[in-house]
Structure 1
């Protein structure tokens, strides 16, 4: 069944494939690392990027209109639709925690105050009360506003969307 010639052919095919693989790697290295040194060359064009604050504020927050102005023109109906993204983890019923804590009466409520929910403690370092402004900045970039938070949501990039969600949350209080 297996004779010497078959084994020799298999070993030869393996060695030939390995040789082609090594030659391909050598050719790619020669193409992409022309200078031979790694990181010794000066970059041809450098883009200056200003440093930004990691506290959820920074320059991007300076570009947004004032929170009070956005809330004055917020649309509760649109906020309800956008809140659909939040429903995966949060509930609006009192005492009904989901993956995240209940958002019943969240506006004006102390941070990390729901009994029976295990908070990460990251929010207490940046805010005491869920004011509309604190909610606004948290909804923009949860991990940037409160580094270490357990919330995995990426945030709402549009200022109007954040204001609409806050207006919706305020309208459900009772």
Structure 2
């Protein structure tokens, strides 16, 4: 029969075995990993030159095109759908949200919305305007285009998405 003492021994044995299993996994991981932690990868021992500049070996023909030519074929309707990613922080009705309003942003001065507290990164560019090219660079990677920006959005990787969004923003006047 299973009495209390026998059940306690079984549970204790199971917990002890689990502890040994977890400690063994931890010791094995610390012995056989390079780089010292989770997610770290060792340095690549050698590089094979494939002739590609992006380092991934696959080229995207849309990325090679210049933004102006892609913008001429952009679809503002699709850009309105892409703007759905922006709606959480930006508005088109002239009022500011977490970010400044974006109606009439194309060719408007950078950091020019009165009363909005811009980051120093964008305030330093206030002499420039939000041209289609500047918007393209910012939308591709905000942190790279304006290091120190408060905008936490990672960016739009597809050039067609950026062109569609700029085409849509061109339709939203003051």
How far off is 1:22 after superposition? 4.3
Query: Is residue 2:24 matched to residue 1:27?
Result: yes
- 1:111-145 CA deviation, whole Å, 9 max, x = no partner? 11111111122224567321111101111122232
How far off is 1:73 after superposition? 0.9
- Whole-Å separation in 2 of the counterparts to 1:15 and 1:66: 67
TM value normalised by structure 2: 0.68
Contact between 1:108 and 1:129, CA under 8 Å: does it hold in 2? yes
Rate the CA distance shift 1:46–1:75 in 2: closer, same or farther, 3 A: same
- Whole-Å separation in 2 of the counterparts to 1:47 and 1:168: 45
Show the counterpart of 2:106.
107
Query: Is residue 2:97 matched to residue 1:98?
Result: yes
How far off is 1:30 after superposition? 6.1
- 1:2-28 CA deviation, whole Å, 9 max, x = no partner? xxxx79x96x67865664344224533
How far off is 1:106 after superposition? 0.9
TM value normalised by structure 1: 0.68
Q: What is the aligned length? A: 154
Contact between 2:104 and 2:169, CA under 8 Å: does it hold in 1? yes
- Whole-Å separation in 1 of the counterparts to 2:47 and 2:25: 31
- Whole-Å separation in 2 of the counterparts to 1:70 and 1:44: 37
Query: Is residue 2:128 matched to residue 1:123?
Result: no
Greater Cα radius of gyration, structure 1 or 2:
1
Contact between 1:64 and 1:159, CA under 8 Å: does it hold in 2? no
How far off is 1:146 after superposition? 2.1
Show the counterpart of 1:167.
167
Matches within 5 A, 1:5-154: 16=13, 19-29=16-26, 31-32=28-29, 39=34, 46=45, 48=47, 63-94=63-94, 96-125=95-124, 128-154=128-154
Q: CA RMSD in A?
A: 3.6
- Whole-Å separation in 2 of the counterparts to 1:86 and 1:37: 44
How far off is 1:70 after superposition? 1.0
